[in-house]
A and B are shown apart, each in its own frame.
Chain A
Amino acid sequence: MALSNEEILAGLAELITDETGIAGDEVALEKSFTDDLDIDSISMMTIVVNAEEKFGVTIPDDEVKNLKTVGDAVTFITNAQD
């Protein structure tokens, strides 16, 4: 069964905390990965690969640059689960 948006957000927050040490409650849908959370491109790719494994989805390299906010990532993963 597909995960809800809230479950994906919580799972993503865990991955972000593991990679960067950013507190989970800092991770919200409207937050920009680069401007708000200060996540660099290498950490972003690490989070993407770990998210692929955690949520069983594929996130192509070309798609990663479109994931500006946490909400973009949650939406992409939600759609990719279907």
Chain B
Amino acid sequence: MTATAHPTLRQATGPAYTRVLAYGAARGEVSVPNEALIGPIDSSDEWIQQRTGIITRMRAEHDTDAIDLATAAGDEAIASAGIDPALIDLVIVATVSNPKQTPSVSAIVADRVGANPAAAYDVNAACAGYAYAVAQADALIRSGAAKYALVIGAEKLSDVVDPTDRSISFLLGDGAGAALIGPSEYPGISATVWGSDGSKADAVGMNATLTQFRDGEVPWPTLRQEGQTVFRWAVWEMAKVAKRALEEAGIEASDLAAFIPHQANMRIIDQFAKQLKLPDTVKIARDIETTGNTSAASIPLATHRLLKENPELSGGLALQIGFGAGLVFGAQVIVLP
């Protein structure tokens, strides 16, 4: 075998480990209780609470958009971490509800938080978007492509709801959650278990295209779901993914301090915890009760609240798992800052 001559090239390498340094959160300004939504769906406060666990959801005012929410959450994460924003060289925003396809939310947010000229791009992975973005930030820092990454899940889902829809609209809220991720001296983010199943693309998502709307064929497109199909997948299939994430992290459920699933529906969260046989010592995030389902924003929002209300969780392990339209899913274990 003859040796092949290669040109000399330097490739990047990074630190061995990463971790979340701090969180930030911004919810829509308006609390929308069940009573405000029950008329057009011929329902009741009790009906919504029983099926979803939601008492009220936070929605943004007309002039507030996902970029505003993302900026506020990002600012808090940066301030809380005590990092100079100029050191942030990667901004990833997970979102599916920005009504303008381009430019990206992330480029504008990077500029607004003081991280210009960081690399910036949006991730479209619905309710798994935040877990996807954490996986990317972790990998890009450890590869040397970035040093500090601002990861944000941001949604203004109230722009894509139909007041008469009984499948998903009444669950949805607006908000943004941010995590600042950087190099670490110890392992702070485990291997991500992620994937997709496009054969179930019709189970949840937008009910029409913008071109159909333009051509007058359909009303303004909004979100819809096949509730039973999504429920079965979100609990029993995702329980398998969650168990694999624990295996990949080399830990047991009893090692967890917290379980932070995507805040889709309280019934999913409860059944999910049951399937995982979580011990009582594990705190379960239930931010959905007063925030609603905020898709990509739900995990960082729920984590932010959990840490605010239970500061003793700091330093503990949290299993986070996102799952949603695609279908797509992503799970990892993190050390809480």
Contact = CB atoms under 8 A, between A and B. Distances in A.
A42 B267 contact: yes
B187 interface: no
Nearest to A40: B51
A49 interface: yes
Interface residues of B, dominant DSSP: helix
Nearest to A46: B271
Interface string A38-55: 001110111011000000
B232 interface: yes
B231 A40 contact: no
A12 to B, nearest CB: 18
B149 to A, nearest CB: 37
A44 B228 contact: yes
B316 interface: no
A64 interface: yes
Given A42-B267, A46-B271, A61 B228 contact: yes
Contacts of A49: 232, 235-236
A65 B229 CA distance: 11
Nearest to B265: A42
Contacts of B271: 46
A61 B232 contact: yes
B219 interface: no
Contacts of B51: 40-42
Given A42-B51, A42-B267, A61 B229 contact: yes
Nearest to A65: B228
Contacts of A42: 51, 227-228, 231, 265, 267
Interface size class of A (residues with CB under 8 A): 10 to 19
Contacts of A65: 228
Contacts of B235: 49
A49 to B, nearest CB: 6
Contacts of B50: 40
Interface string B124-158: 00000000000000000000000000000000000
A15 B218 CA distance: 42
Interface in A19-47: 40-42, 44-46
A42 B51 CA distance: 7
Interface string A57-74: 000010011000000000
B226 interface: yes
B229 A41 contact: no
A41 B236 contact: no
A81 B236 CA distance: 22
A46 B234 CA distance: 12
A61 B227 contact: no
A65 B227 CA distance: 12
Contacts of A46: 271
Given A42-B227, A44-B228, A46-B271, 12 more contacts: A40-B50, A40-B51, A41-B51, A41-B227, A42-B228, A42-B265, A45-B231, A49-B232, A49-B235, A61-B228, A61-B229, A61-B232
Interface of B: 50-51, 226-229, 231-232, 235-236, 265, 267, 271
The 10 closest A-B pairs by CB, nearest first: A61-B229, A45-B228, A42-B267, A45-B231, A45-B232, A41-B228, A42-B231, A49-B236, A41-B227, A64-B228
Interface of A: 40-42, 44-46, 48-49, 61, 64-65
27 contacts: A40-B50, A40-B51, A41-B51, A41-B227, A41-B228, A41-B231, A42-B51, A42-B227, A42-B228, A42-B231, A42-B265, A42-B267, A44-B228, A45-B228, A45-B231, A45-B232, A46-B271, A48-B232, A49-B232, A49-B235, A49-B236, A61-B226, A61-B228, A61-B229, A61-B232, A64-B228, A65-B228
